[in-house]
Amino acid sequence: MQKDKLIKFFKQQSQIVNQSFINFIFPPFCPICESELKHRERLICENCYSHIKTIESNFCRKCGAPRLGGRKTCKYCKGFTFHFSKVRALGIFSSPLVEMIHLLKYDRKTLIAERLGILMGNLLFSDSDLSQTDMIIPVPLHKTRMRERGYNQSLLLSRIVSSITRKELCNDVIIRKKATKSQTTLNHNERENNLKDAFIVSNFGKIKNKTIVVIDDVMTSGTTLNELSKTLLEAGAESVYGLVLARAISV
């Protein structure tokens, strides 16, 4: 037993030395700003994280977008009826947050979810409404998209947020039954039609009379979060809130 432990230890040390040598010959660079990563920086440099345009105090109390003036809600929200109670976004959908989300979703740089999840967890803690909720639910992927990507970025973020806030993570109570098209190029009406009846609750008892935080990466028109919230409320949830990495302004 002692021999096995020693072998394992020396293998780990060998891997550390090999990685250090590789980093010495080929120094790692931040994929966003291309600056050389400093000691303890992992994948993304601290300077890029510090330049995320966060949304802190002057935001719409409904959709989370930055707003001007003293009104509680923004001009965009006046034109739509939302089923969710409130959304909080970590930042504006602009560089460097855009690049971070792209690396997370499409380049398999799942390590980014750890740091961004911590920031989202701190945001949840700081919000008087979201901090009082019962559970966390990530926006689900359809099984086809899940096979293509190999992971759900919203679930990765949710796991970190759950571990920080100690709120229950429920990944099996709602299913995306419809393989929808990408929302990127669709207008608001097309987005609504695309997502209509896309979700189904698989465990009604789990969410009955619960206050829920739904976690996603980006909110643009709010259609995905709205349809998901509608489904959860119809299934017995008391209220639904949203927590997203980024809020897109051009909607």
Tell which wins on pLDDT, 1 or 38: 38
CB 190 within 8 A of CB 223: no
Residue 42 lies in a domain: no
Residue 15 lies in a domain: no
For residue 26, the 8-state DSSP code is: S
DSSP bridge partners of 59:
66
Torsion angle of the four alpha carbons 162, 143, 206, 247, in this order, in degrees rounded to the nearest 10: 50
Residue 4 lies in a domain: no
Which one-letter amino acid corresponds to residue 26?
F
* Domain carrying residue 162: 50-247
Residue 212 lies in a domain: yes
Mean pLDDT of the chain: 86
Low-confidence winner among 147-156, 193-202, 236-245 (lowest mean pLDDT): 193-202
Please provide residue 61's backbone torsions phi and psi, each rounded to the nearest 5 degrees: -75, 0
Residue 94 lies in a domain: yes
pLDDT, average across residues 212-227:
94
- The count of domains in the chain is 1
Residue 218 lies in a domain: yes
Whether residue 194 has pLDDT greater than 90: no
pLDDT of residue 186: 66
pTM value is 0.86
CATH code (residue 82): 3.40.50.2020
Name, in order, each residue with C-beta under 8 angstroms of 13's C-beta and a sequence gap of 6 or more. none
Residue 203 lies in a domain: yes
pLDDT of residue 22: 46
CA–CA gap between residue 120 and residue 169 (Å, rounded): 14
Residue 213 lies in a domain: yes
